[in-house]
Amino acid sequence: MGGFGSGRGQGGKDTTSNMRPLDVRRLQRDGLLAPGRAFGWHWSRNGEEVASVQMRTEVDRVTLNYRSRSYGGEWQAMEYPVRLEWTPCSYGGARAWFRCPAQGCGRRVAKLYLGSAIFACRHCHQLAYECQRETDDDRAARRADTIRKRLGWEAGILNGEGDKPKGMHWRTFGRLKAEHDAYVRTSLAGMAQRFGLMKW
Ligand SMILES: [Zn+2]
């Protein structure tokens, strides 16, 4: 049985490709935005339902109701309104928009995407993605620091090397030091590249 994330591609810039899109134009086209409507929407992959949301429509909002679970966590009931906005079309009628419900956003958008917990516009998901992303050299520096801590050395790869801790086998020390040095090289190379200081 395929899991939620089975077969999804990694890499690429489109951070919303693994998310569940909710398109207000589609809802409008299907006549689902009339006040007082209540309906369900689901997403499936290979014929199997992978996510669903219940919606209730009022004049200026649609209330979403669903359960979400972040990786390995408990299922959590989610319920909150998303504002609807209507703009006149040049040939009569009105076009519906969502206002992104993410804190501090409120952008007028046609599509919201369900990430791990909430529906938000792609700008919000992109921001969240970039904050979480750690560069290779950040990671290498952090790993080097983990080893430095184990060796009792001062944190920070630019602080030089210390001695072998008392009671540690030379062989263990040699292995840790080799790992440490490799991380330091990766980190310095990454920093040099990012800031354009020098070539390694
Ligand atoms: Zn947003």
Task: Give the pLDDT of residue 44.
Answer: 86
Interhelix angle 136-151/170-195, nearest 10 degrees: 150
C-alpha 73 to ligand 1 mean position (Å)? 24
Cα 108 to ligand 1 centre (Å): 8
Q: How far is the CA of 91 from the centre of ligand 1 (A)?
A: 29
Positive or negative: CA dihedral 37, 115, 9, 109: positive
19 C-alpha to ligand 1 centroid (Å): 14
pLDDT in tens, the chain (200 residues): 333 333 333 444 556 667 889 999 999 999 999 999 999 998 888 888 888 999 999 989 999 999 877 666 778 888 999 999 999 988 888 999 999 998 888 999 999 998 767 899 988 888 776 666 667 778 888 899 999 999 999 988 888 889 999 999 999 999 999 999 999 888 887 766 554 544 43
CA of 20 from ligand 1 middle (Å) equals: 15
Token reading at 179: 């790992």
DSSP 8-state code for residue 25: H
- The pLDDT value recorded for residue 92 is 85
Cα–ligand 1 centroid distance for 126 (angstroms): 9
pLDDT of residue 5: 33
- Give the per-residue pLDDT at 47: 85
pLDDT score, position 159: 83
For position 132, what pLDDT does the model report? Answer: 65
Task: Give the pair of three-digit tokens for residue 155.
Answer: 């944190």
Ligand 1 centroid from CA 39, angstroms: 24
Q: Is 195 helix (H, G, I), strand (E, B) or coil?
A: helix
Report CA(27)–ligand 1 centroid distance (Å): 19
Distance from residue 100's CA to the centre of ligand 1 (Å): 5
DSSP3 helix / strand / coil % (the chain, rounded to 5): 30, 30, 40
At 198 the pLDDT is 44
CA of 38 to the centre of ligand 1 (A): 24
Q: 144 CA to middle of ligand 1, Å? A: 36
For residues 119 and 96, give the distance between their C-alpha atoms in angstroms, rounded to a whole number: 17
* Contact residues for 31 (Cβ-Cβ < 8 A; gap 6+): none
Q: Note the pLDDT of residue 74.
A: 77
The CA 156 to ligand 1 mean position distance, Å, reads 37
> Would you state the pLDDT for residue 96?
96
* Residue 32 CB burial class (10 angstroms; 0-12, 13-18, ≥19): middle
**pLDDT score recorded for residue 95:** 94
Going from the Cα of 31 to the center of ligand 1, the distance in angstroms, rounded, reads: 25
Rounded CA separation 112/123 (Å) = 10
CA–centroid distance, 87 to ligand 1, in Å, is 19
| Distance in Å, CA 139 to ligand 1 centroid | 28
